[in-house]
A and B are shown apart, each in its own frame.
Chain A
Amino acid sequence: MTTTTTTSSTDAPGTSPSGVAGSPPKRNDLPTVRYTMAQMRRSAGRLTAAGIAILIGTAFVAVTLLAGNVITRATYDTIAARYADADVLVTTSGNDWREDVEAVRGTEGVVAADAVRSAYLNLAENGEFAYAEGVARPQDDRLMPLDLTEGKWPSERGEIAVPDGVAERLGVAVGDEIDIHRWVQTDPETGDGEEVSEPVRVVGVTEDPYGAYAASGGAVVATAADIEEWGDEPVPGDPFEIAAVLDPSALAGGEPTQAVRDALNSAVVSDGDHSVVTVDEHAQRVSAERTGGEDLVFLVFVLTFAAVALLVAGLVIANTFQVLVAQRTRTLALLRCIGAGRGQLYRSVLLEAAVLGVLASLGGVLTGVLLAQTALFVAPQFDIGVPLPTIVSLTPQVVLIPLAVGTVVTLVAALAPARNATRVAPLAALRPAETLSVRKGAGRVRAIFSALAVLGGSGLVGLGVYLGADGRVDLGLAATVLGGALSLIGIIVGTVFWLPKVAAFLGAIVARTGPASRLAAANTLRNPRRTSATATALLIGVTLIMTMTTGAAAARSTADSTLDETFPVDIMVMPGSSDVPASAVDDIAGVEAVSTVTEVYAADAELPGGEYLYLQAADIEDLRGTVNDESAADGLEPGTVLLSEGQMENLDLAEGDTVDATGTGGETVPLQVVETSNVGLTSFVTLGDLRRLDPDAALAGVWASLAPEAEPADALADVQDAMSDDGVFVTGPAAQRAQFEQVINVMLGIVVGLLAVAVVIAVIGVANTLSLSVIERRRESATLRAIGLSKSQLRGMLAVEGMLIAGVGAVLGIVLGLAYGWTGALTALSIMGEVSLTVPWLDLGVVLVVAVVAGLVASVAPARSALKASPVEALGAE
């Protein structure tokens, strides 16, 4: 190596071999660059593995940003699609909109113009309902975004064209007559109104190729007169839009000429603000508004997970560089011996990190773009309802943000290892290789910071739980999340102190299984820092996943008991347009999924204070067999009435009081008040008591429970079918509950999916650590092979090592996740009542198995390279 002159300030004065007398010392980094590149080539394999971690992280960011772009584009397209081929939008206050439309139509250069009007309609046919937006057929088809697939456009009042989806759902075709239900206000003072229903004829079926009405499931087209009657008058103050198609002479380069703009502006009759904008301008403005709102929330939400993935990637990088520096100790010392300055070594490591960061991030951006493009290719095959762009839009942000983030994360991760490189004493080159090691142990500052963060964080979490139980859920959740994050950071920072002890404990158990396992257990403890850094990377992902699943499990089972009280039975049939007929009981019992049914009777009773109480009753045995919570009917016996806390308060009664109820039959029955928290069973008395109050008490409903294996939504549909002729109202709390659970599951699935990226990166970290250890222990492995370790034992040793590291990370992550999940659930759910803290055994098992198998898989490649090296070669290696 050429003698290098350095100006690094960390060099002790006089020790730097300054240049030849006479020539001023000049800074020359070239040897450093050349040395760095040579080192990188030597460590290419190791760096690649670390680079993949960063690559995945940046790909995640890139895909998220691209998805954001796609959403913005799709939003823009959908908005623009609504105006079809219109050129301009005239927005007015809508006070005199009819005159405005006429004025716009009469403006020079305007070919066609129409008001953008809609009405919400409820279509009914064959017992099915469909809500849809109704839009007026415009004056000119160029203003119509929908295409006709069958029949014709409505031209007379009472004619409609329906979207294909609606036609299918309602089972109607062109020529059929269906009912339109709408709510008509009869008294503007009180807001009272009634539902009216009128028949209309389907004359056409439409499709929505540009997704103009994708959000509302397509639009029903009717004549302008019908829409005007069905819809409300424009709300004063809301912008009223008139879309217009212009004559080519009024357009200059696709834009309306200033003359037309002025003419339109002055044509508006309505008072108040008005504007003339192109459809593009309008779509841009509206989509920008949305992008600043909901879309931003989406971006922030997903990018949070990308940040977790990058944090884990940073750990993997830091670990890799730490090991690389340790492996190069001898070379570094040698360099110091021949005159390299500390600054040069520091810069060399950072340069290496920068090169790695840039290359890996570029790879990540490329991967992200390819993934997003593939998704866009595949997406049209699934019916997602929204037309998506076919090509990803590559904005500078999509490339630059991930690139910058990936490079910075890599650089920051390499800071500590770079500092370690400068600590290598020149003397180290003279010591035998075996005794070399990078500084062990960890600083006191770290210990103190870790302890403070854990204590402070736990305190905050405690406060959060207290606030949650106190009903201040928002504040409580904020405290819990903040405290959880703080304590997790403390735990992560402090893993080096305690994680090796856990590893030692698990290792001692594993070591009993054989000599290879004993070697593996001993190996994981040789380098506590490396083992804990590797396991920590996995711990983060596992902790977050377990937190989510535990929280979801708690929410689910807490909701279960709450739902039992809110929705006491699986299926309820109640009077609708007609009373529940006596035949309903048999009809419902005949449905396959139904296991038991109960007839519920009801009658009004007058209380001494003059209040009326709507009392219900059912056969006590049937009732017990049908309600979800059998014990809910406890306390219901002749002479008692079940009342909720609220009812008791309203009626000024207390548990144990006796109240005299007088029925329409004239008889007075004394009833003792029993409190119930089960919403379904409030106002229940025994059937005998009800009959005494009103011998003619009518059948007020039928309750049914479903067979355990029944699919709630299907069962509900079956019961609805069975009751379709009767005009009764069928609700399915069971289906509602299933839907609720599905929502939890879908959300959980998304979150776990996003977190899984962090776990994948961590597993790469495990593999990387193992490969590095294998390289480091080449001589040792050769020795072991020479004294009789078989190939499969060597493979087994590395497998156990991988599983041990992964297992430690997973076990600790699971424990932490349970703790966080429970405290989170306590904070968020206490308001719903008693929180049941369950252990999601299944999820827990899956996480553990996945982690351990991942550790096993991570050992495959390192084991292969360990076996490839011939014993002789390794014995000779320095």
Chain B
Amino acid sequence: MDTTVYVPVDGTRAVRARDLTKTYGSGEAAVHALAGVDVDFAAGEFTAIMGPSGSGKSTLMHLLAGLDTATSGQAFVGTTDVTALNDSALTKLRRDRVGFVFQQFNLLPMFTAEQNITLPVELAGGTVDRQWFGTLVETLGLTERLTHRPAEMSGGQQQRVAIARALIAQPDVVFADEPTGNLDSRSGAEVLSFLRRSVRELGRTIIMVTHDPAAAAYADRVVLLADGRIAGDISDPTPESALAGLDALRTLEPNVSTGTTPVVPGAGAR
């Protein structure tokens, strides 16, 4: 059982998980998507979560963001225990402190890029910080696209709009679930460098799920997940070290893709 708590060397912790578990179904059919996860994510850092399919990456992210309810354990955004919030508090948390980027972009087709970007602020009844908006649009290279609707944009452009939407409310943390999954490698590289710039230049905190070692190399740190448990940690990853980390998981665990193997032999994978 891996009980190591990964604490970054410096900086405050933006997001934490404590013995977080999530079980789908019950009895024979029970699937332990997360089987006791303890992990910390530092503020101002770009973290990638990697792991085999079905290892619980998406589940972990949903729980951290308060999109889904945990079976047990706690998840913190800053000092707020997300697992203890009711729906309206969660809504407020999502509005003000958390941003999302989805694999499918999920832009609203009837709105223009600009309307899509400013939507979270409007939903919260606030006013758009024009200066921040300008900075975002400029950084993400969307100046020319503001009046376009999603159908008139490429996948990469749509994903950049989605990133701007996630950042517009200046959230404490942005979660991105395979943001490059639907993009070709060039658009993917574009999006990733924008994500990294958001962290480096705009001071944001980003946690990203990815399958792609090359994508993970853009991050400051990689957290490895296998079978619902933390299985490793790589700082300042390169495509090679990320791939090696993943491969180590695979050799250790031939059945991992089913996600039903109950025990992970061995702890950290490094």
| C-alpha gap A435/B105 in the complex (Å) | 13
Q: A736 contacts the other chain (Cβ, under 8 Å)?
A: no
Q: Give chain A interface residues in 427-459, CB to chain B under 8 Å.
A: 434-435
| C-alpha gap A786/B166 in the complex (Å) | 10
Contact A872 B88 (CB under 8 A): no
Instruction: Provide the residues of chain B in CB contact with A786, threshold 8 Å.
Output: 65, 67, 94, 100, 102
Contact A787 B123 (CB under 8 A): yes
Contact B102 A783 (CB under 8 A): yes
Q: Give chain B interface residues in 59-111, CB to chain A under 8 Å.
A: 62, 65, 67-68, 87-88, 91-92, 94-96, 99-100, 102, 104, 106, 108-111
Surface stretch bound by B, among A517-525, A717-725, A855-863: A517-525
Instruction: Provide the residues of chain A in CB contact with B96, threshold 8 Å.
Output: 788
Contact A515 B110 (CB under 8 A): no
Instruction: Provide the residues of chain A in CB contact with B62, threshold 8 Å.
Output: 872
Q: Nearest Cβ in chain B — how far from A833, in angstroms?
A: 54
Q: B120 contacts the other chain (Cβ, under 8 Å)?
A: yes
Q: A871 contacts the other chain (Cβ, under 8 Å)?
A: yes
Q: CB < 8 Å: which of B65, B123, B150, B165 contacts A793?
A: B123
Which residue on chain B has the smallest CB distance to residue A514? Answer: B125
Q: Nearest Cβ in chain A — how far from B96, in angstroms?
A: 8
Contact B151 A791 (CB under 8 A): no
Contact (A783, B94) CB under 8 Å given A515-B119, A791-B87, A872-B68: no
Q: B124 contacts the other chain (Cβ, under 8 Å)?
A: yes
Flag B205-218 by CB within 8 Å of A: 1 or 0 each.
00000000000000
Which residue on chain B has the smallest CB distance to residue A867? Answer: B87
Q: CB < 8 Å: which of A525, A870, A875 contacts B102?
A: A875
Flag A843-878 by CB within 8 Å of B: 1 or 0 each.
000000000000000000000000000111001000
Which residue on chain A has the smallest CB distance to residue B155? Answer: A432
Q: B122 contacts the other chain (Cβ, under 8 Å)?
A: yes
| C-alpha gap A750/B5 in the complex (Å) | 77
Q: Nearest Cβ in chain B — how far from A785, in angstroms?
A: 8
Instruction: Provide the residues of chain B in CB contact with A788, threshold 8 Å.
Output: 91-92, 94-96, 120, 123-124, 169
Contact A787 B125 (CB under 8 A): no
Q: Give chain A interface residues in 321-338, CB to chain B under 8 Å.
A: none
Q: Give chain A interface residues in 463-522, CB to chain B under 8 Å.
A: 514-516, 518-519, 522
Instruction: Provide the residues of chain A in CB contact with B123, threshold 8 Å.
Output: 515-516, 784, 787-790, 793
Contact (A525, B122) CB under 8 Å given A435-B151, A791-B91: no
Q: How many A-B contacts are there with CB distance less than 8 Å? A: 76
Instruction: Provide the residues of chain A in CB contact with B109, threshold 8 Å.
Output: 434, 526
Q: Nearest Cβ in chain A — how far from B48, in angstroms?
A: 20
Contact A522 B110 (CB under 8 A): yes
Interface size on B, residues (CB 8 A): 31
Q: Nearest Cβ in chain A — how far from B183, in angstroms?
A: 12
| C-alpha gap A875/B94 in the complex (Å) | 15
| C-alpha gap A875/B100 in the complex (Å) | 12
| C-alpha gap A784/B65 in the complex (Å) | 14
Q: CB < 8 Å: which of B104, B111, B119 contacts A787?
A: B119
| C-alpha gap A589/B155 in the complex (Å) | 89
Instruction: Provide the residues of chain B in CB contact with A117, threshold 8 Å.
Output: none
| C-alpha gap A523/B88 in the complex (Å) | 24
Q: CB < 8 Å: which of B106, B110, B169 contacts A783?
A: B106
Q: A137 contacts the other chain (Cβ, under 8 Å)?
A: no
Q: Nearest Cβ in chain B — how far from A869, in angstroms?
A: 12
Q: A11 contacts the other chain (Cβ, under 8 Å)?
A: no
Instruction: Provide the residues of chain B in CB contact with A514, threshold 8 Å.
Output: 125
Q: Give chain B interface residues in 11-28, CB to chain A under 8 Å.
A: none
Instruction: Provide the residues of chain B in CB contact with A779, threshold 8 Å.
Output: 104, 106
Q: Nearest Cβ in chain B — how far from A128, in angstroms?
A: 72
Q: A655 contacts the other chain (Cβ, under 8 Å)?
A: no
| C-alpha gap A526/B110 in the complex (Å) | 7
| C-alpha gap A790/B120 in the complex (Å) | 11
Q: Nearest Cβ in chain B — how far from A257, in angstroms?
A: 83
Contact (A790, B102) CB under 8 Å given A434-B109, A522-B110: no
Which residue on chain A has the smallest CB distance to residue B124? Answer: A788
Q: Give chain B interface residues in 222-266, CB to chain A under 8 Å.
A: none
| C-alpha gap A789/B67 in the complex (Å) | 12
Q: Nearest Cβ in chain A — how far from B123, in angstroms?
A: 5
| C-alpha gap A523/B122 in the complex (Å) | 16
Instruction: Provide the residues of chain A in CB contact with B95, threshold 8 Å.
Output: 787-788
Contact (A518, B104) CB under 8 Å given A434-B109, A526-B110, A788-B95: no
Flag B134-172 by CB within 8 Å of A: 1 or 0 each.
000000000000000011000000000000011001000
Q: A780 contacts the other chain (Cβ, under 8 Å)?
A: yes
Contact B110 A523 (CB under 8 A): yes
| C-alpha gap A872/B68 in the complex (Å) | 6
Instruction: Provide the residues of chain B in CB contact with A875, threshold 8 Å.
Output: 67, 102, 104, 106
Q: Nearest Cβ in chain A — how far from B254, in angstroms?
A: 26
Q: Give chain B interface residues in 161-215, CB to chain A under 8 Å.
A: 165-166, 169
Q: CB < 8 Å: which of B67, B108, B119, B151 contacts A872?
A: B67
Q: Nearest Cβ in chain A — how far from B102, in angstroms?
A: 7
Which residue on chain A has the smallest CB distance to residue B106? Answer: A783
Contact B110 A787 (CB under 8 A): no
Q: Which of B67, B68, B95, B151 has the most CB of A within 10 A?
A: B67
Q: Nearest Cβ in chain B — how far from A778, in angstroms?
A: 11
Contact B122 A518 (CB under 8 A): yes
Instruction: Provide the residues of chain A in CB contact with B100, threshold 8 Å.
Output: 783, 786-787
Contact B91 A780 (CB under 8 A): no
Q: Nearest Cβ in chain B — how far from A18, in angstroms?
A: 39
Contact A780 B111 (CB under 8 A): no
Contact B94 A515 (CB under 8 A): no
Instruction: Provide the residues of chain A in CB contact with B120, threshold 8 Å.
Output: 787-788
| C-alpha gap A790/B87 in the complex (Å) | 8
Q: Nearest Cβ in chain B — how far from A259, in angstroms?
A: 87
| C-alpha gap A771/B120 in the complex (Å) | 25
Q: Nearest Cβ in chain B — how far from A441, in angstroms?
A: 16
Q: Nearest Cβ in chain B — how far from A793, in angstroms?
A: 7
Contact A787 B165 (CB under 8 A): yes
Flag A525-538 by CB within 8 Å of B: 1 or 0 each.
11000000000000
| C-alpha gap A516/B87 in the complex (Å) | 18
Instruction: Provide the residues of chain B in CB contact with A785, threshold 8 Å.
Output: 91, 94
Which residue on chain A has the smallest CB distance to residue B96? Answer: A788
| C-alpha gap A787/B120 in the complex (Å) | 6
| C-alpha gap A780/B100 in the complex (Å) | 13
Contact B88 A791 (CB under 8 A): yes
| C-alpha gap A791/B165 in the complex (Å) | 20
Which residue on chain B has the smallest CB distance to residue A777? Answer: B108
Q: Give chain A interface residues in 776-824, CB to chain B under 8 Å.
A: 779-780, 783-791, 793
| C-alpha gap A788/B119 in the complex (Å) | 9
| C-alpha gap A684/B73 in the complex (Å) | 100
| C-alpha gap A514/B151 in the complex (Å) | 25
Q: Give chain A interface residues in 560-613, CB to chain B under 8 Å.
A: none
Contact (A515, B122) CB under 8 Å given A435-B151, A786-B94, A788-B91: yes
Contact B119 A780 (CB under 8 A): no
| C-alpha gap A872/B56 in the complex (Å) | 13
Q: Which of A514, A788, A790 has the most CB of B within 10 A?
A: A788
Q: CB < 8 Å: which of A434, A515, A516, A790 contacts B91?
A: A790
| C-alpha gap A83/B196 in the complex (Å) | 101
Which residue on chain A has the smallest CB distance to residue B158? Answer: A434
| C-alpha gap A434/B155 in the complex (Å) | 12
Instruction: Provide the residues of chain B in CB contact with A787, threshold 8 Å.
Output: 94-95, 99-100, 119-120, 123, 165-166
Q: List 23 A-B contacts (CB under 8 A).
A: A434-B109, A515-B125, A519-B108, A522-B111, A523-B110, A526-B109, A780-B106, A785-B91, A786-B65, A787-B94, A787-B99, A787-B100, A787-B120, A787-B123, A787-B165, A788-B92, A788-B123, A788-B124, A788-B169, A791-B87, A871-B68, A872-B62, A875-B102
Q: Which 7 A-B pairs have the closest CB atoms?
A: A788-B95, A783-B106, A515-B122, A790-B91, A522-B110, A872-B68, A787-B120
Other A-B pairs, 10, CB within 8 Å; known A780-B106, A785-B94, A786-B94: A783-B102, A786-B100, A787-B99, A788-B120, A793-B123, A870-B67, A870-B68, A872-B62, A872-B67, A875-B106
